[in-house]
Amino acid sequence: MSNTPIYKFLNEKKLILDEIEIAYHQEGEGEVIILLHGWPQTSYMWRKVIPILSKNFRVIALDLPGLGNSSDTLNYDTKNIATIINDFRNKLGIKKFHLIGHDIGAWVATSYSLFFEEYLNSLVIIDAGIPGLIPDDLFKLENANKVWQFYFHSLDSIPEFLTKGKEKEYISWYFEKKSYIKNSIKEEDIENYYLSYIKPNKMRNGFEYYRYFEKSALQNKKQTSKISTKILAIGGEFAVSEQVGIAMKKISNNVVSSIIKECGHYVPEEKAEELCEIINSFILSELKKL
CA dist 95 → 30, 120, 198, 225, 280 (Å): 13, 9, 36, 23, 20
Q: Is residue 271 within 8 Å of 246, Cβ to Cβ?
A: no
Residue-wise over 271-288: b if at least 16 C-beta within 10 A, else e? bbebbbebbeebbeebee
CA nearest neighbour of 122 among 231, 235, 38: 231
Asked whether residue 40 carries a pLDDT value surpassing 70, the answer given is: yes
Q: Is there a contact between 120 and 98 (Cβ–Cβ < 8 Å)?
A: yes
Superfamily of domain 13-287, CATH level 4: Alpha/Beta hydrolase fold, catalytic domain (3.40.50.1820)
Shortest CA distance to 279 belongs to which of 26, 129, 59?
59
22-26, 104-108, 141-145, 250-254: range with lowest mean pLDDT: 141-145
Return the sign of the alpha-carbon dihedral for residues 32, 37, 42, 44: negative
Q: What is the DSSP pairing of strand 32-36 with strand 58-62?
A: parallel
| Whether pLDDT at 105 is above 90 | yes
36-45, 140-149, 151-160: the lowest-pLDDT one: 140-149
Does residue 2 carry a pLDDT above 60?
no
- Report whether 99 contacts 59 (CB < 8 A): no
C-alpha 148/C-alpha 150 separation (Å) is 5
State the pLDDT confidence band at 139, using cuts at 50, 70 and 90.
Answer: confident
The answer to whether 112 and 84 have CB atoms below 8 angstroms apart is no
C-alpha span between 247 and 199 (Å, rounded): 34
Contact by Cβ (8 Å): 50, 56: no
- The DSSP line for 136-198 is GGGGSGGGHHHHHHHHHHHSSSHHHHHHTT-HHHHHHHHHHHH-SSGGGS-HHHHHHHHHHHT
- Beta bridge partners, 257, equal 233
Closest CA to 114 of 102, 127, 131: 131
The tens digit of pLDDT for each residue in 165-205 reads 999 999 999 999 999 998 999 999 999 999 999 999 999 99
| Per-residue confidence band for 260, with pLDDT thresholds at 50, 70 and 90 | very high
The chain-wide mean pLDDT, for the chain, equals 95
Residue 1 pLDDT exceeds 60: no
Q: Cα–Cα distance between 277 and 232 in angstroms, integer?
A: 13
Question: Phi first, then psi: what are they for 257, rounded to 5°?
Answer: -105, 145
* Rounded CA separation 126/128 (Å): 6
* Type of residue at 223: Q
Question: Where is average pLDDT lowest: 14-18, 133-137, 186-190?
Answer: 133-137
Whether the predicted pLDDT of 290 surpasses 70: no
* Cα–Cα dist 47/286, whole Å: 25
